[in-house]
Every structure is written in structure tokens, then in C-alpha cells.
Amino acid sequence: MPWTRDQLVDSVASRRGRPIELISVDRSLIAGGHFGLWLSRADDDVILYPGGTSDVHATHIICHEIAHMELGHDREAIGEISEPAQLPRRGIPGVDTAGVVKVFGRSNYSSDQEYEAELLATLIMAGRRADGSEHHSDARTARMLGSF
């Protein structure tokens, strides 16, 4: 079944019991060559993604960060996540960075975790069918996409 970005985010937020806020920011504000960042705050999560990119690319970046959430990669993150060192010193317009507890970017995951997140993001995007078809050739893929 076709879905919208908001439907996906609302579904994942509901299942996790934590609101997810999407914020489009200037590309220069996302440090370290990342396309997106997941900011974990005490009571919610924020996904930063670059403005000025296509809707499809922005949605894929958001799906990639959601995939990290769904796969529990925050429990196995590597490197420094306890301090928002990856955030610009001047802050990010529209984002309360004082409440950020953890920052997750590409440097906080193993190559396997990045591969898993990219694969799941691609599968989620594949479920965004324009023709309304709910048929998937792989039963596992259908079950996973059906959970969103």
C-alpha cells in the first residue's frame, strides 16, 4: 500500500512510544559528511535531513535514520554519542540542542549496521508503490513492510 512520509514517521513513533520530529536544515549544519542525523532527546527523537534535496532523497534519508531506530542500533553504537560533539557550535535553527542526550551519525555505527540500515531503508522505499499494489514477492519483505 502506498504511504506518505508522515504516515511512516507517525507509525514508527507510535510503536516506539516516542515522538519523532523531522527537521530540514541547511546541508552545512549536518557535520561529518552525513546526509542525516538522529538526535535522541530525553522524550523524543529528531531526524535532521538536508533541505534543498529532492523529496525522494529526503524520504530515503529519513527512512535510513528510522531503520537505525527500528534495528536498535542505538544499543550498539560505537564512538562518542553521549555529548553532542557532532552538532555545530552555533546550534541548529529550530532545534533545542540543549536537550540532546545522544547524537547518532555514520561514525557511530559499524559498516554492517550502515549496510543493514541502508538495506532496510531501500526496502521501505520499495513499499512506497505508486500503483497501490500490496503484492511483494518475498513474504519476509511483505511482513516487514506491512508492519509500517
32-58, pLDDT tens digit by residue?
666 888 888 889 999 989 888 899 989
In this predicted structure, what is the pLDDT of residue 95? 77
> With 70 as the cut, is the pLDDT of residue 84 above it?
no
The continuous run of DSSP H or E covering 100 comes out as strand 100-104
Q: Residue 78 corresponds to which cell in the numbers above? A: 560505537
Confidence bin at 22 (pLDDT 50/70/90): very high
For the ranges 25-29, 32-36, 123-127, 144-148, the maximum mean pLDDT occurs at 123-127
Q: Which residues of 118-141 are buried (b: 16+ CB within 10 A; e: fewer)?
A: eebbebbeebbeeeeeeebeeeee
> With 60 as the cut, is the pLDDT of residue 101 above it?
yes
pTM: 0.76
Q: In the chain, what's the furthest Cα-to-Cα distance? A: 48
In this predicted structure, what is the pLDDT of residue 131? 46
